[in-house]
Amino acid sequence: MEIGLSNNCVKMNLPDGNVVDVLSPVLEEIKQWIQDDISKPESGGYIVGYQHKHTGNISLEAVSHPYLLDVKNRVRFDIRDPRHQHFLRKARRNKSYYMGVWHTHPQEVPIPSDIDWNDWNETMKSDTTGCQYVFFIIAGTDEWRLWVGDFLTGEIQEAYECEKDTNGIYIRERMRQNEKTLQKDFK
């Protein structure tokens, strides 16, 4: 996905047919840390969000950002600062839960490194989230990508944006709105 100025919410398809909404605060915070200059180190943090009780859809609503005690260089980022844990505790009080991690790469279109794949596979074995998935975002200088780890199958796969019509409206959402309208008409 292109890193744009006006990303309100990006809807991505999940393996089970539901949708994950990546909300604008997530994209806005990540954009601040893009490695668009040789002097900028790799950055990252935790992702928090929740699963909608009735639809099964997921919202990723906020991310932590790099802090002073994190380990950062041009090609590596390790979460070490205790303020990330404080971020997770505060989010939990607001019914938002750990959902994964994000980091940057100094590439236009980010490609997961072997280190990323190893970390993600370890995460699949050791972490739990507020749903059946764990999310991994990598932001490059021009685009960001999302991978989804499924705790039920043990697989990690890339997620893609939901289809839009020529007006830029998500087709799936329009179909749901039409279904709701039809249901109201028959009541």
Task: Return the beta strands (E) in 55-95 as ranges.
Answer: 58-63, 71-73, 76-78
Percentage of the chain modeled with pLDDT above 70: 88
Domain membership of residue 99 as a residue range: 9-186
Domain count, the chain: 1
Are the C-beta atoms of residues 14 and 154 closer than 8 Å to each other? Answer: no
Structure-block tokens of residue 30: 């990540």
CA–chain centroid gap for 119, Å, is: 16
CA gap 12, 147 in Å, rounded: 10
Answer yes or no: is pLDDT of 23 > 90: yes
**What is the CATH classification number for the domain harbouring 140?**
3.40.140.10
Is residue 4 assigned to a domain? no
Closest CA to 57 of 65, 66, 49, 47: 49
Is residue 62 assigned to a domain? yes
Number of Cβ within 10 Å of residue 184's Cβ equals: 8
| pTM of the model as a whole | 0.89
Answer yes or no: is pLDDT of 7 > 90: no
Q: What is the pLDDT of residues 125-184, one digit of tens each?
A: 999 999 999 999 999 999 999 999 999 999 999 999 998 888 878 886 544 544 444 444
Q: Residue 168 has what pLDDT?
A: 79
Is residue 90 assigned to a domain? yes
Is residue 104 assigned to a domain? yes
Is residue 3 assigned to a domain? no
Is residue 157 assigned to a domain? yes
Q: Residue 103 has what pLDDT?
A: 98
Q: Residue 172 has what pLDDT?
A: 63
Is residue 2 assigned to a domain? no
Residue 107, burial from CB neighbour count under 10 angstroms (0-12, 13-18, 19+): middle
Is residue 135 assigned to a domain? yes
Answer yes or no: is pLDDT of 29 > 60: yes
